């Protein structure tokens, strides 16, 4: 059987990939890698060429084989594909731990580090990271402990995948049929049109509202019906839990406890007091107290502003608000204060115009060109492909998959399809997946974005640029690879700032029918609204970050009751919105229980501080200044993980980061812990 996953001369052949290809391809590459490893360990004296480069090549090949599998499991999920994906997770985990615990390989890397004097800085960083990862993988553990660590890694791989599956299934399972049009009052027309189409597709009368995030957000922000808002709130916040519309069917409660137990035990085996302490070995922050101090200081500075924000909404509403009321009345207040609404803005942000303007921006700043390319294999008709080049030639490419649909994971993300690699004579240029979950076209209207969605697109495009514009040739430190986790959001959050600039907004907007630019008064009101409710937004993110860090910084594995207790304590400290008893937020917190943000959610705020300070350089020199853009390109984007994150920042800014710009951008610079 010709296996398309093993054909690596070009981009993945998505239409040819079947679930039955997955396990054989992974088995073959793992077997070949193991055989190659044995051969090189019994070869000549260890050197970069005899040990490190072959390992980089092996990891790169495995990554290329697995990337389309993980991606398709997220965007065109099916039961057979999910089963094949899940069968491979323990194998991949076992292989990774096996490499990390290989004492002969560890000694070989140490030998190269000690003896080979010809290594360039990027090569030294590759070895430095690998030696660190050996220690974090338990290379120094004794036999039984080493085997237990491996078992825990396998268990975590399976548990985290199950958490994500439960959340996806619970989200897809819920919908609300509406037969009385009055119940839809207030909803944007494109949401109603999409709901009408969804009902027709299932031979149902009226409208069918599904639980994807764009619909949930629209209902909570715009639906006049208290009952509809409450139903959506309950369905969303009880997903994958023991209560709510599908109580217990896809319950993540015990899985969370098991994940925390496995993480804590693994960290303990390596001599760490907590999983949070273990996780900081790969981050900019040096110890747990530094992270907690950072978060709690921001919370203290922001709490008073958040309380004012919430009191303002309640005063406007004229009554005590429930959690499902807050977004609705906040949106009404925003409309009254700034005479602005998502409905008013959306026609001016058609996806094509936003994309063209965003591309033009980075072409100006970074001296690159972006062109659409047809004829590439794709996994869905909505997907498009672009190539990036500069004066010297091609730099890489990226797929774009922007719209919500069934069997597609919620949220927005960038992922690695192909990492940059120059190993020997062959150059593999980087390729990325850029994925969002926006509202698709409805009726005769093209896909239109809210401004919040424009900001999300800019965020994910920042990650994409970080991956694509690297100049580093070694896969483990090229692009986003090897970058400290709490700095990896720097380019993405940096790019968000441009979506709020008066010099940029006219280039990314234009009415979808007439092409007319965003009216000057609407532009002014949008810019004035930037810090609307910024205190509440700040403490919401701090709530997530503190909860994540505290459950992972505990000196023991928390029980289900302790997980809830920790969340309650964090909310008492920072939250201003009243949470009902039904809220089971943690059961759907996939960033930390299924994604890579365990004990790392704080990195959004940490990197936001870096990005705000970095963007201040553009504010000082001119937002569209190509010279400043080139410096950011060369100091941050091109070096990937080959330079320490703090050093990349200092290389660009000329000093260490300062919090002033973050507080100023958030509109809460006047607040300080001493004020309250």
List, as one string, the DSSP characters of 111-161: HHHHH-TT--HHHHHHHHHHHHHHHHTTTTS-HHHHHHHHHHHHHHHHHHH
With the C-alpha atoms ordered 49, 50, 55, 58, is the resulting torsion angle positive or negative? positive
3-state DSSP assignment of residue 190: helix
Q: Which residues contact 540 (CB under 8 A, 6 or more apart)?
A: 575, 577
Alpha-carbon span 606 to 286, nearest angstrom: 13
Q: Is 440 helix (H, G, I), strand (E, B) or coil?
A: coil
Cα angle 107, 109, 111 (rounded to 5 degrees) comes to 70
DSSP state string for 2-53: --GGG--SSS--GGG--HHHHHHHHHHHHHHHHHHHHHHHTSSS--IIIIIH
Q: SS3 of 389, please?
A: strand
d(CA 123, CA 473): 9
| Helix axes 253-269 and 560-574, enclosed angle (nearest 10) | 90
Distance CA 338, CA 527 (A): 10
Strand order across the beta sheet in which 431-438 lies: 369-373, 384-390, 393-403, 431-438, 413-418
Per DSSP bridges, beta strands 431-438 and 393-403 are: parallel
For residue 498, give every residue at least 6 positions away whose Cβ sits within 8 Å of its Cβ, in sequence order, or none.
361, 458, 504, 623
d(CA 647, CA 499): 27
89: Cβ contacts below 8 Å, ≥ 6 apart: 154, 157, 158, 161
Residue 387: strand, helix, or coil: strand
460 in active site: yes
Dihedrals phi, psi of 577, to nearest 5 degrees: -85, 130
DSSP 528-541: HTTTTTHHHHHHHH
Q: Is 316 helix (H, G, I), strand (E, B) or coil?
A: helix
Query: Angle at CA 568, nearest 5°, toward 566 and 571?
Result: 110
User: What 3-state DSSP class applies to 58?
Assistant: helix
Per DSSP (E only), the strands in 579-671 are none
Catalytic, out of 164, 183, 331, 460: 460
Dihedral sign (CA 82, 600, 666, 336): positive
| 438 contacts 214 by C-beta, under 8 angstroms | yes
Tokens of 480: 């986003």
3-class DSSP string for 474-512: CHHHCCCCCCCCCCCCHHHHHHHHHHHCCCCHHHCCCCC
**Residue 1 CB contacts under 8 Å (≥ 6 apart), including other chains:** 21, 24
CA distance 390 to 388: 7
Catalytic residues: 460
């Amino acid at each position: 059987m010709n296996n398309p996953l093993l054909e690596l001369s070009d981009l993945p052949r998505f239409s040819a990939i079947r679930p039955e290809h997955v396990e054989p391809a992974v088995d073959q590459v793992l077997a070949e890698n193991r055989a190659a490893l044995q051969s090189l360990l019994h070869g000549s004296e260890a050197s970069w060429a005899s040990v490190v480069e072959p390992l980089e090549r092996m990891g790169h090949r495995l990554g290329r084989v697995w990337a389309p599998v993980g991606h398709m499991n997220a965007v065109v999920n099916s039961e057979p594909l999910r089963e094949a994906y899940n069968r491979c997770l323990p194998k991949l985990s076992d292989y990774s731990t096996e490499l990390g615990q290989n004492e002969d390989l560890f000694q070989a890397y140490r030998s190269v580090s000690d003896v080979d004097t010809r290594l360039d800085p990027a090569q030294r960083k590759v070895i430095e990271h690998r030696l660190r990862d050996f220690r974090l993988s338990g290379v120094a553990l004794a036999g039984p402990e080493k085997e237990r660590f491996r078992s825990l890694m396998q268990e975590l791989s399976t548990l985290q995948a199950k958490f994500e599956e439960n959340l996806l299934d619970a989200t897809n399972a819920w919908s609300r049929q509406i037969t009385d049009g009055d119940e839809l009052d207030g909803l944007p027309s494109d949401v109603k049109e999409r709901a009408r189409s969804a009902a027709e597709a299932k031979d149902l009368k009226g409208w069918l509202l599904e639980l994807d995030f764009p619909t949930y957000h629209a209902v909570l922000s715009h639906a006049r019906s208290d009952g509809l808002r409450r139903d959506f709130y309950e369905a969303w916040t009880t997903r994958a839990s023991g209560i709510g519309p599908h109580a217990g069917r896809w319950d993540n409660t015990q899985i969370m406890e098991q994940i925390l137990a496995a993480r804590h035990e693994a960290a303990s085996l390596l001599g760490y007091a907590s999983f949070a302490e273990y996780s900081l070995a790969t981050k900019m922050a040096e110890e747990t107290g530094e992270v907690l101090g950072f978060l709690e200081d921001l919370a203290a500075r922001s709490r008073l502003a958040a309380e004012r924000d919430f009191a303002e909404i309640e005063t406007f509403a004229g009554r005590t608000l429930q959690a499902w009321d807050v977004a609705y009345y906040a949106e009404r207040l925003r409309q009254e204060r700034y005479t602005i609404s998502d409905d008013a803005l959306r026609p001016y942000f058609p996806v094509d115009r936003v994309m063209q303007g965003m591309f033009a921006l980075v072409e100006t700043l970074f001296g690159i060109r972006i062109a659409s390319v047809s004829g590439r294999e794709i996994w869905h008709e909505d997907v498009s492909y672009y190539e990036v080049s500069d004066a010297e030639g091609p730099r890489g490419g990226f797929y774009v998959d922007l719209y919500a649909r069934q069997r597609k994971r919620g949220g927005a993300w960038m992922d690695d399809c192909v990492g940059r690699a120059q190993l020997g004579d062959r150059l593999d240029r980087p390729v990325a997946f850029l994925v969002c979950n926006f509202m698709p076209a409805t009726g005769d209207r093209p896909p239109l974005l809210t401004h919040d969605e424009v900001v999300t697109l800019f965020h994910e495009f920042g990650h994409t640029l970080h991956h694509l514009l690297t100049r580093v040739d070694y896969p483990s430190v090229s692009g986003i690879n090897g970058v400290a986790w709490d700095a990896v959001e720097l380019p993405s959050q940096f790019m968000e700032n441009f979506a709020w600039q008066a010099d940029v907004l006219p280039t990314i907007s234009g009415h979808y029918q007439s092409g007319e630019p965003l009216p000057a008064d609407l532009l002014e009101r949008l810019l004035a609204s930037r810090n609307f409710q910024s205190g509440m937004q700040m403490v919401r993110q701090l709530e997530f970050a503190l909860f994540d860090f505290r459950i992972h910084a505990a000196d023991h594995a928390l029980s289900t009751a302790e997980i809830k207790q920790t969340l309650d304590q964090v909310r008492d400290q920072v939250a201003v919105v009243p949470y009902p008893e039904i809220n089971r937020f943690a059961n759907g917190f996939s960033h930390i229980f299924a994604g890579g943000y365990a004990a790392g959610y704080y990195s959004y705020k940490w990197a936001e501080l870096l990005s705000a300070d970095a963007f201040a350089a553009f504010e000082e020199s001119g937002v569209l200044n190509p010279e400043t853009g080139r410096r950011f390109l060369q100091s941050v984007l091109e070096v990937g993980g080959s330079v320490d994150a703090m050093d990349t920042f200092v290389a660009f800014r000329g000093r260490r980061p300062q919090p002033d710009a973050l507080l100023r951008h958030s509109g809460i610079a006047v607040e300080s812990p001493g004020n309250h």
